Structure 1
Amino acid sequence: MADLGKIDGDFFDEYIYPNLGADREDEILSPQHGVDFGVIDVGGKAVALATDPVFIMPSLGFERAAWFAFHILMSDVAVSGMTPTHLSIDFNLPPEITDEEFATIWETFDAEAKELGVSVVTGHTARYAGCNYPMVGGATAIAVGEFDDLVKPNGAQVGDKVIITKGPAVEATGLLSIQFEPLMEGEMDAEALSAAKDRFYDMSPVQDALVAAAAGPVTAMHDATECGIYGGLYEVARSAGVGIELETDAVPVLPGVRETCNFFDIEMWHAISEGTLLATVSPEGVDDVLAALDAEGIPAAEVGEVVSGSGLVVDGEPTDHPGIDPFWGAFEENMGKLADLQ
């Protein structure tokens, strides 16, 4: 297991996969490493479920932090192609959180849930000693829909085209530039820093996924979270038993991303990028998907192809899964620098 961040595939295969409880006939999609959600059949309806930590960074301001936390929870079921419908949430809060701060979090969750049509169906809320930001609980997001609308994460097929929205390191850029703005001021071009901070509200792939799925025959979707675009595409390929070829020159890179990654000395293609959608699309649907995304103001491009074989090939070179996301080390290191500055 890595010291920081998610477990790798080997750990999953040794410790998690052999111990998944009872086998049930209603389980349609079982847990796999790098797959965002599971699926069960309930009375002929597809029910997608995904569980994640509740991630609250007070330094973002509680309203902004809660917006991001909510969209993290929704993103893994949104890539099922079905609109999220329900939320079950557990808050294990640090003792220092005030009633007013929690109210801001919960009112923001309520507003975003109403906007998306999500109902909170159950939960748990308490302060506990030993609980600390940013991981303050866990939640399960649920999407209920028709099986015909379900986009399985292992559905990529040879000949499909690869579409990517927004490009690399969106989350790393948005979070690092806001958290460490005092370290970056005067050391990085002011226009680039402002652009980097603007990446914050790009950190949701929910609209990207729902727009893409509605527009054309999408065969698989994945959000580029830990280990970024390279890690995400490698996982899409592995889950479907295919290869993926990527041309990096075709991938959109949003303003402020290169400068921020250079400042923190992190590889942007390996860095966490919540908000970036990775999709494989049947060739006949590519133009429709790109047009639909463009109509919603979502930057996107066709950047590669699904091929026979296995793994990821980047600009003609076989490329392994990054294994470790550089965001976490950069974040920890610069928290120390920020404390010294203050």
Structure 2
Amino acid sequence: MSFPYGKLHPKFLEKIVFKHLGFKRSDVILGPSKGEDAALIRIGEELIAASCDPISGSIKNVGWLAVNVSANDVATRGVKPSWFLSCILLPKNSKLNVLKMICKQMDLASKKLEIAIIGGHTEVSLGLNHPIVVGFCAGRVKEGKYVTCSKAKPGGKIILTKGAGIEGTAILAIEREKELIKFLGRKIVEKAKNYINLVSVVKEALTAFDFGGVQAMHDPTEGGVLGGLCELADAANLGIKVYENKILVGKETRAICDLFKIDPLKLISSGSLIIVANPEEAEDIVAKLENSGVKASIIGEMLNDPEERYMMTKEGVKKKISIPETDELWKGLER
């Protein structure tokens, strides 16, 4: 068999990847697990939260996304990201200005988040059509001062920040700019391109965690909001119920998805943050986020039965949801 583009479905992780994890060490508090964004490693009296991500679907903002996406994963633990390493892979005949662009973007993103770039690797590789950057990010935290997706509880209220398909909207607007301007007009496309500045969730993750009442947080990347919800539910072995009319989809996202005939709820959504909160504190967390300038809304709740995972559509139909086989971004980029 051959795999589709993008992140592998969890069933292949369980079947192959998770069966080959090297030496088992007692200082690994949380290793590779379904639905979890970052590892946790004990170093003395503290822990390190660490994660890595490749940027393979974007060309013009690959450096910016490499920092932000891996930093997001660390922040979902309630941990401030502090250090970043990159592996920059360039295609043959790459120009010097391409490397400069990537490094400047990583520098800008890291400074904005107060992250130090502490090392990495750069090379020209065979078989590439465009640059790929793999980012590794880490942060330090005290014992017990973090959250994991597995700690979500039945009845926990699901909060979503900003809306669906943020990263995908930006990538499609930037990589398919000329085509989109032709059909949608320059004004919508320029606004959609600016979504690239919304891809960080570090601010809202730390704001929510510091406020209190957070059970779990997850960064819905490939597979979009619906995929992210199912990943979180997998980690906690719970069900989910969400309401389609509660999930914000930006005007620009909707326009691009309608044009490419793709589902915004299954479009890569870095920039969105899924928070599971104690029911009695969920509204207060939303208010805190709104007061800090981050849009947020309660879109559903966690259920006790892991087989119950569904969305109530705008028409009132109960629709079962699952992790998509591939992200809608690839469909848009291939059109």
Structure-1-length-normalised TM-score:
0.89
State the distance in 1 between where 2:190 and 2:286 align.
28
Alpha-carbon shift at residue 70 of structure 1 (Å): 1.8
Contact 1:54/1:73, CA 8 A, preserved across alignment: no
Aligned equivalent of 1:9: 10
Q: What SS does structure 2 have at the residue aligned with 1:187?
A: helix
Alpha-carbon shift at residue 249 of structure 1 (Å): 0.9
Alpha-carbon shift at residue 120 of structure 1 (Å): 2.4
| TM-aligned CA distance change 1:181 to 1:275, over 3 Å | same
Aligned equivalent of 1:326: 328
Contact 2:67/2:106, CA 8 A, preserved across alignment: yes
State the distance in 2 between where 1:57 and 1:322 align.
20
| TM-aligned CA distance change 1:34 to 1:256, over 3 Å | same
Contact 1:2/1:8, CA 8 A, preserved across alignment: no
> Counterpart amino acid of 2:247?
V
State the distance in 2 between where 1:331 and 1:150 align.
37
Q: What SS does structure 2 have at the residue aligned with 1:269?
A: helix
| TM-aligned CA distance change 1:124 to 1:112, over 3 Å | same
Aligned equivalent of 2:101: 104
Match status 1:155 vs 2:151: yes
Q: How many residues are paired up?
A: 328
Match status 1:72 vs 2:74: no
Aligned equivalent of 2:315: none
Match status 1:206 vs 2:208: no
Contact 2:84/2:135, CA 8 A, preserved across alignment: yes
Aligned equivalent of 1:124: 121
Alpha-carbon shift at residue 237 of structure 1 (Å): 0.8
Q: What SS does structure 1 have at the residue aligned with 2:231?
A: helix
Q: Which moved more, 1:250-259 or 1:17-26?
A: 250-259
Aligned equivalent of 2:39: 38
> Counterpart amino acid of 2:184?
M
- Structure 2: state its 5+ residue gaps: 313-317
Q: What SS does structure 1 have at the residue aligned with 2:235?
A: helix
> Counterpart amino acid of 1:293?
L
Alpha-carbon shift at residue 304 of structure 1 (Å): 0.7
Question: What is the CA deviation profile of residues 42-98 of structure 1, one whole-angstrom value per residue up to 9, with x for unaligned ones?
Answer: 11212111111145844x3xxx54322321221111111100011222222223333
Aligned equivalent of 1:48: 49
- Structure 1: state its 5+ residue gaps: 334-342
> Counterpart amino acid of 2:42?
D
| TM-aligned CA distance change 1:107 to 1:194, over 3 Å | closer
| TM-aligned CA distance change 1:231 to 1:162, over 3 Å | same
Aligned equivalent of 2:311: 314
Specify which of 224, 231, 239 is matched with residue 228 of structure 1: 224
Contact 1:216/1:286, CA 8 A, preserved across alignment: no
State the distance in 1 between where 2:270 and 2:58 align.
15
Alpha-carbon shift at residue 154 of structure 1 (Å): 1.4
| TM-aligned CA distance change 1:135 to 1:125, over 3 Å | closer
Q: What SS does structure 2 have at the residue aligned with 1:81?
A: coil
Specify which of 269, 273, 294 is matched with residue 273 of structure 1: 269
State the distance in 1 between where 2:135 and 2:117 align.
10
Match status 1:241 vs 2:242: no
> Counterpart amino acid of 1:106?
C
> Counterpart amino acid of 1:93?
L
State the distance in 2 between where 1:101 and 1:56 align.
16
> Counterpart amino acid of 1:232?
G
> Counterpart amino acid of 1:148?
G
Contact 1:56/1:133, CA 8 A, preserved across alignment: no
Alpha-carbon shift at residue 193 of structure 1 (Å): 3.2
State the distance in 2 between where 1:169 and 1:109 align.
22
State the distance in 2 between where 1:186 and 1:97 align.
30
Contact 2:164/2:264, CA 8 A, preserved across alignment: yes
State the distance in 2 between where 1:189 and 1:121 align.
42
Aligned equivalent of 2:30: 29
Structure-2-length-normalised TM-score:
0.91
